[in-house]
Structure formats: structure tokens, C-alpha cells
Chains A and B, each alone.
Chain A
């Protein structure tokens, strides 16, 4: 035996810092921050949220300050985005409308993620007829076009931000439930979960300690997708006249009112709400990409 099993410690190089030594969260944050577009997206989103929710302080003019005599004016140094037919400052209107749009987007994402995760996890864990029933229900939603379903629902219910959130979440949970279910099923077969079962961990323990942490990535990424989808769907519904109704306003609803102005001198009212939607959705998508990359690399390494 020429190779000694004892080894002079002083000759070993200092141990290289291994990823496992750092906290999981810090690695995630570092990876996310390396994704430049995602950081930009996050900053844009934060700026939009501060401006919209802080509209009372940020907005250049008080809300609903009408000046019917002047009416619609193109953008000027006084009114950066011009004024609408009632002489209201359009930037101010836009910021307040953003409150509704953003709230709907975030609310739908939160609600549909919560419900979808729960239902998907139950479906994947229990299997059997419960799984079968839940999956057939989500099948139903795949068959009827979303916009038709939403329009019908909004026609039936009284349109308000709350019903819009409920209706959109009622559609959105199916998407997340499917994703979570398939993840749970594939995790269930993984060695570490089976090992935990063999070791006698209870079902709740397995869910809390093994499944949820591993699902976090999928859930967060899909939640960000849900925000973008909800903002677009809300604006589309409002644009078609089934969503937010005046005097309340959202970006989609502003566009609905401006839609008839194509080709008229007042067409400047058409641009700002669309840019606001585009910017928000873009920022959310960048954010989602960054999150996905961060979580993807993690799952590849572990």
C-alpha cells in the first residue's frame, strides 16, 4: 500500500468556498442581480407602483380637477400629457387609473397563485379520483376561450374592480394548478421525498419541508406571468366595455374612451395608457425571466 490514507493537512489547499456554504437565498439574490434586464424591470415596476399608489403626492394636479372651458388640450409644459375632454390633466388621470390596473394585476396574481397552488398540490399529492375531477375541471377552462368566458361572466356580474379580480382569478388558478400539480407529481417520485417517507416523516412534514421549498421557484415565476396576463386581460376587458366602468378608470378603460379618437386631433390621448400597459407588462416579464433564470440555475446545481 503506497498511498497513505492519512494526509498532512497543511498540504491541502484551503477549501474552496462551495455554494452550499452560502445561504440559499443569498445565491438567489446574487443570481437575480446579475440579470440586468430583470433588475431594470424591478426598478421600473417599483417606480410605477410608487407613482401610481402615491398619486395623491406625485400627481401634478389634483384628481378630477376639471376645466370644461379649455377641454382637451395637447401636451404642454403645464399638462405633460395634455388634458382630456373634461379638461382634466391626463397624467394625473393616468396615475390614478394605474392604481386600479396594478391592483387588479397583483390581486389576481396573488389570488390565483394561492388557489392554484393549493388545488394543484392537493391534486398532485392525493391523486386518485380527486385528481381526476380537478383535472377535468381545468380541462373545461381550456376548451372555452378565455375572453368569451370573462366577457360572459362580467356581463352577468356587476363590473367592479373586485368582481374583475375574482373573475380573472377564477380563470387564472387553473393554469397555476396544472403547473404545480405536474411539479408535485415529479417531485413525489424524487429520491429525497421517498427517503423522507421511508424515514417516517408525516405527510405534512414532507409537504412543508420538502415540497414547498422546491416548488417556490415555479410558483413565483408563474405568479409573475399571472400579473402580466391579468393586466393585459383587465385592459382588454375594459377596452371591450366589460371591465372597469366610468367614472372609475383603469388604463384599459382610458384606452376604451380614446379608441374613437384615432385620426382626430385628440389622438394623443391614445398613446399614454398603452405605453403604461406595455411598460408594466414588459417590466413584469423581465422580472419573471430573471427569477426563472435564478431558480433554474439553482435547481440545476442542487
Chain B
């Protein structure tokens, strides 16, 4: 297998604007029957100051990829490939040096803030711990002031008085703000937000996304937003990468991916979203179930569920990514044929709809 996919995510040469560049990242778990890859030959870049959204269903490998970035996968996981952060290879870095990166250069926010915050430590202690670990010389007062600043940054009212409260004394949205404060404690270059809004009410979701954007504007950090919810992506992301079955299926600037989706899976995802701007007889769903790691087909992981799949083309090794523009690539080798076919389908479907009425 030659490294054909390595240019899937980004095909410009490494430049100073590449904060993180991931190449051929593979995460495998040992199972009863051998090895199962949660992430397979994944490549992408995160540029300075941008927000890249990693979109995929649960089990698509997006969280495993994030944990690989943090070096926080369980020991049973086997990681290969390359993770270069500011030009420095993170994979294989000794634990001690990785610890200096974690929380300082790369911060992370988890989905369920109630579980992710220590229930027996005050919020203030948990924030100051994040700061103190990387700034051992800082005195108590300075730490406290920093914690108050951080709580203010994420929009928690009366931060000084909230320092001594415990996580359970906060509401869900407030807890997620605390998580962001911890993730931003040392103003990292990259903030990974792993499903930051999934556990929250819809109205609160928007607020949290807003806090993220606010924080990003203030500090200039890059954000890697991991989500299964395309709706979350729309207002926030500069670029979008769609993952399925541990692989990158499509990657591009948000506008291209949303308005000119190239991969059948991306289209299916978009069609499954409720729309208010168009009358649709009913929401479509993608038939079938994603295959678990270890049972995935050769070639394109989506082909068992894809209506456009041709076994002789899609079932072989995954081909070179198709470049649609400087920013937009897709892993679907039939992109151009499908695009032609779809235009015809739409015309036909509209006709049929008219007839049925």
C-alpha cells in the first residue's frame, strides 16, 4: 500500500501556518481475533488560528484520533503514523515531554463535564491545578487571580465567589464553561473540543459555541472541534473534515463541504438534517449500520451502505483523493461520475414528486 492518501487532507507543502500536521495516523486495538483499526491512515492539518471541525458518527474514530493527539490512549492501543505539532513529532515522545505539551500547548474539553470534572475538588482548585502544573513558580495569589480571569473569560458571573464551589453546584452549561476555562488555562495553541455541546440543551449549546468562539478571538488559539452534529459545525468551523469508518472521506472549507458535498456519505449526512429552507417530503436516512472496527471492507469504508458503490472500483484499495479545488478533497473515486448522475436524479425525482401529488 503506497502512501496515496497522505495528501487527502491538505496538499500544500508544510508552511508556517500549519500548527499540526497529521499523517497516516493509525490507531489499532487488540481484539480476540487480531487487531481492529479505530483510525486508519488519517491525514489532516490544522492551521494557525482556524477552527477545523471533525465530523462523524460515533465509532467513526474521531475521538480516538483526538486522544491519540493527546497521547492519552489506553496502553492496549497501537498508534502509528506521524503527529507533528509545530514541526515536532509527538508520537513516541517520552511521557515526561508529552506531559509538558498536554494542557500547555494542547488543551482539551470533554463531552460530559459533570464526569470530566473531579467531583471532590473545588472548581478553583481544578483550574489552578491546570495552571500550576506548568508554572511551578507561581504563588497562590497569582494562581487565584489567574483562575478568576479564566472564569471571567468563559463568561461565569461573579467568578471570585464561584472559586470555592464544587462542580455539582453548577448547571450543565456552567460546568462546560469551567471545562473550557481548564482547557484554556495556559492559552494553548490548540484546543481540542470533543463533542463539547452534545450533553447540553439546545439553547445552552449555542452559548457554549459562542464562548468557544469568544475565547478563540481573544487568544488566537486553533480549535479542533469534534462533533457528530453538522448543525454545530455550520456556524463555527472554517474547515470541515468528514470521517467514517476511521477514515477521512471528505475535507474542505466549510462552504464547499456544505454547498458542494462531494462524497455520497457527506451528502447523505446533509440530507438527514431537517431543513427549514426547503420543503422535503420526509427526511432521508442512511440505510444499514456502520461496520465496527475490524469488520470493515477493503477500500472505501462507506461502500456497503453507498448506493453508488461499484464493488470493482470501491472495493479495492482506497484510491488517491480527488482534488476538487485547492481546499476541497474527497476520498470518493467516483465523485465525477456520481455528480453527473445526481444532477439527472434530482431532475427525475422532482418530476416524480410532482406526479405523486
Direct contact of A and B (CB under 8 A): yes
A→B interface (CB under 8 Å): 1-5, 7-8, 11-13, 16
Give 14 pairs: A residue, B residue, CB < 8 Å, sorted on A.
Answer: A1-B271, A1-B280, A2-B264, A2-B267, A3-B264, A3-B271, A5-B284, A5-B287, A8-B307, A12-B304, A13-B295, A13-B304, A16-B292, A16-B295
Residues of A within 8 A of B311 (CB): 11
The stretch among B70-78, B141-149, B151-159, B342-350 that forms the contact with chain A is B342-350
Given contacts A3-B271, A16-B292, 11 further A-B contacts (CB under 8 A): A2-B264, A2-B267, A2-B271, A2-B345, A4-B307, A5-B285, A5-B287, A8-B307, A12-B304, A13-B295, A13-B304
- Listed residue (A11, A12, A16) with the most chain B CB atoms within 10 angstroms of its CB: A11
Contact of B297 among A1, A5, A7, A13 (CB under 8 A): A13
Per-residue A-contact encoding for B244-282, CB less than 8 Å = 1, 0 else? 000000000000000000001001100110000000100
Chain B: number of interface residues, binned into ranges = 20 to 34
User: What separation, in Å, do the CA atoms of A13 and B349 have in the docked complex?
Assistant: 28
Distance in angstroms from B214 CB to nearest chain A CB is 36
Contact B346 A2 (CB under 8 A): yes
Most buried by B among A3, A5, A8, A16: A3
Q: B residues within 8 A CB of A13?
A: 291, 295, 297, 304
The chain A residue sitting closest to B303, CB to CB, is: A11
From B271, B309, B346, A11 is in contact (CB under 8 Å) with B309
* Chain B: CB-nearest residue to A9: B287
The one of A3, A11, A16 in contact with B286, judged by C-beta atoms closer than 8 angstroms, is A3
CB neighbours (8 Å) of B34 from chain A are: none
List of A residues within 8 angstroms of B94 by Cβ: none
A3 to B304, CA, bound (A): 14
- Within 8 Å by CB of B284, from A1, A8, A11, lies A1
Question: B354 in the interface, Cβ–Cβ < 8 Å?
Answer: no
| In the complex, chain A residues whose CB is within 8 Å of the CB of B307 | 3-4, 7-8
* Chain B residues proximal to chain A, CB less than 8 Å: 264, 267-268, 271-272, 280, 284-288, 291-292, 295, 297, 303-305, 307, 309, 311, 342, 345-346, 349
Distance in Å: Cβ of B278 to nearest Cβ of chain A? 11
B264, B280, B287: which has the most chain A beta carbons within 10 Å? B287
CB distance from A8 to the nearest CB of B (A): 7
- Chain A residues with CB under 8 A of B292: 16
Contact between chains at A12 and B284 (CB < 8 Å)? no
When the two chains form their complex, are residues B304 and A1 in contact, meaning their CB atoms are under 8 A apart? no
The 8 A-B residue pairs with the shortest CB-CB distance in the complex, in nearest-first order: A7-B287, A3-B268, A4-B307, A3-B284, A2-B267, A2-B342, A3-B271, A13-B304
Q: What's the Cα separation between A8 and B291 when bound, in Å? A: 17
B288/A1 in contact, CB under 8 A: no
Identify the closest chain A residue to B284 (Cβ).
A3
Q: In the bound complex, do residue A1 and residue B268 qualify as a contact, i.e. CB atoms below 8 Å apart? A: no
CB neighbours of B303 from chain A (8 A): 11
By the criterion CB–CB under 8 Å, are A1 and B349 in contact? yes
Nearest residue (CB) in B for A4 is B307
How far is A1 from B307 in the complex, measured between Cα atoms in Å? 12
CB distance from A27 to the nearest CB of B (A): 16
